[in-house]
Structure 1
Amino acid sequence: LWTQKVKRWSDFLIFSASRTVFHHNSDAVIQLLRSCFTCTLGLTPTSQLCSYGGVGALLGHGFGSRYSGGISTAAPGILYIKVHRSIRDVMFLTEEILSLLMFSVKSIATRELPAEQAEKLKKTKDGSRYGIGQVSLSLAMTRVKLAASLGASLVWISGGLNLVQALIKETLPSWFISVHGEEDDLGGMVPMLRGYALAYFAILSSAFAWGVDSSSPASKRRPRVLWLHLEFLVSALEGKISLGCDWATWQAYVTGFVSLMVQCTPAWVLEVDVEVIKRLSKSLRQWNEQDLALALLCAGGLGTMGAATELIVET
């Protein structure tokens, strides 16, 4: 018993001392975040800890559950939960987590969608295809959602409400405006998957911070931040803001974000200015997204009922 106790004390002291590294070195924090993504998504099959991916690889079985070379190790998720309070400046984490999410999406697409399958899937009408291509796309989307949920969890754990609001108001708009010169050799599937990943990332982060209804005290801040983000979307759709990202990424993000908001958080739509909802619906119709435009107007309540009726009559 004494031997076990001394070993646990040694592990505790070493673990506590490691916080100093993350307090002074931002590169160490980024490397830890990268390990969280690779382990959760199973992108490093050579590592026994991360070979299967999932939450089990991210969190393990607590501190000291694994031994490597006589040294007790911790899963990356457990380590980050313990040390994130020691990070001196958390504001830079949103951009880093966003970058890691985009890199992870490309890795997922490269693994799940070989170039030949992606090209065949792209050429099919309306994206509907049965067989290997459709299965591969479904698997890729599942892992993309997992990566987005991990990114949202890391943002929420790291900085709470303030970091999530900075993500929605500043980081995401800046990312869409910036130019990203990465090549895609998978028939345009990577930009599309990135757009959907960003939509899940934004919705989940916001849900963690504000809740999906009005029961959370933080929900009082939701209408203002949500209005600013939707105003950015509408302004870009109307050509008032120039975008630097891939068009497929932007289209997937807008349709994915609106669809998730209508289906999963309809209470948010009621809090947005009616005119913004109408302008957004009009822009969606120009993309031939009549069903989504109608669903958005229906979720807007009495203020958008007239516009919804007009859309039904026209179509």
Structure 2
Amino acid sequence: MFRVPFTRDNNAVAQLIRSCFTSFLGPLVNGRSCFVANRGVINLMGQSPGQSGCRLSISPGCLYMRSCGMFLDNNFVCEEIFKVVIERAHALANECGCDINGPSYLMSGRMSISCALSSVEQIASLAATMLCHAGGVKLIHLMYDQIVPTLLLSPGDRKRGSAGSLCSIFEGFALAFVLLLSGASIWGIGENPPVYTSVHPSKRQRIVGMHLEFISMVMEGNMDLGCGQATWRAYVLCFVGLLVDFVPAWIPQVPLKTLQKLASGLKKWHEHDLAHSLLERGGPEAISIVVEHML
């Protein structure tokens, strides 16, 4: 009975998605996160009967888990989740109380940038979990291949608030975290995807390779951005950094030509260490390129 509206009405699905984020992170008030004591996983999924007696209502998280398999349009679900992720990332940047181009100090009582970035990771973790449960392998493939590239290439309608540049940077970090965590959840972090996903290694290789090729083409100037340079730079540095640090087993499976173009783009941004780290994890064939880049 609880799940019926979500099989017919996308507005109900959007409201449920927002309820999940609100219960986990707290509400938004005037574009800023509002701290509440009762939040986190317990509030998202609901307390067990042993903690608070008989539970009379179903929590947003449980309702989402029970209903997401019957959603009409997983592309709509993905768009709504990314919309909330971007909104939340901007809210955290505004909560820091400064612009990256403004004064270097933080306003008294504001959240530090390091704490805000930690919260961005929490937002991304929740979003990745919700996306994997809603769409599984097919949706994650579509995210790498179409949805995230389109989001970065399209201007969109992003209300950044007072901390404009910092909002853009947080947005790039959030998008990178969501995509990387979603892929790792589905494909695993080892050389081969987990058996239970039924994903052939060549499939992951193709999808990751295509996304890195997309990044390198934009860096070469072959595609026009819509998201802005601050968001784009944060996205690329965060995504590649996460690849190098947390899923290095994916990198040797990427075509060497793509890695070389990506490393060249990073060097133009004066990110020499990241470029070298990327190539060093590219396997034996990339060693000669590493030497060339060090000369």
Choose the corresponding residue for 2:214, options 211, 232, 243: 232
Instruction: Quote the RMSD (CA, aligned, Å).
Output: 2.6
Structure 1 partner of 2:224 = 242
Q: Match for 1:274: what amino acid?
A: L
Specify whether residues 296 and 87 from structure 1 end up closer, same or farther in structure 2 by C-alpha distance, changes over 3 A only.
Answer: same
Structure 2 partner of 1:61 = 47
**Does residue 170 in structure 1 map to residue 152 in structure 2?**
no
The number of aligned residues is: 284
Choose the corresponding residue for 1:206, options 172, 177, 183: 183
| Map 1:66-77 → 2, pairs under 5 A | 72-77=56-61
CA distance in 2, matches of 1:307, 1:141: 34
Q: Match for 1:246: what amino acid?
A: G
Q: Match for 1:157: what amino acid?
A: H
CA distance in 2, matches of 1:80, 1:64: 22
Q: Are the equivalent residues in 2 in contact too, given 1:62–1:78 (CA < 8 A)?
A: no
Specify whether residues 110 and 219 from structure 1 end up closer, same or farther in structure 2 by C-alpha distance, changes over 3 A only.
Answer: farther
**Does residue 216 in structure 1 map to residue 202 in structure 2?**
no
Specify whether residues 102 and 272 from structure 1 end up closer, same or farther in structure 2 by C-alpha distance, changes over 3 A only.
Answer: same
Q: Offset of 1:120 from its aligned partner? A: 7.1
Specify which structure has the bigger relative contact order, considering alpha-carbon pairs within 8 angstroms and separated by 6 or more residues.
2
**Does residue 79 in structure 1 map to residue 63 in structure 2?**
yes
Structure 2 partner of 1:159 = 135
Larger Rg: 1
Unpaired stretches in structure 1, ≥5 consecutive residues? 1-16
Q: Offset of 1:39 from its aligned partner? A: 1.4
Superposed CA deviations along residues 169-227 of structure 1, whole A, max 9, x for unmatched, are: 11001101111353442151110011111111010000011111115242521001111
- Percentage of pairs with the same residue: 31
CA distance in 1, matches of 2:162, 2:260: 37
Structure 1 partner of 2:247 = 265
Q: Offset of 1:110 from its aligned partner? A: 2.4
Superposed CA deviations along residues 213-267 of structure 1, whole A, max 9, x for unmatched, are: 1152425210011111011101100000111002111000000000000110001
| Map 1:262-301 → 2, pairs under 5 A | 262-301=244-283
Specify whether residues 119 and 61 from structure 1 end up closer, same or farther in structure 2 by C-alpha distance, changes over 3 A only.
Answer: same
Any runs of at least 4 consecutive aligned residues in structure 1 with deviations exceeding 6 A, and if so which?
63-67, 129-135
Q: TM-score, normalising length from structure 1?
A: 0.83
Higher helix proportion: 1
CA distance in 2, matches of 1:60, 1:71: 8
Q: Are the equivalent residues in 1 in contact too, given 2:2–2:63 (CA < 8 A)?
A: no
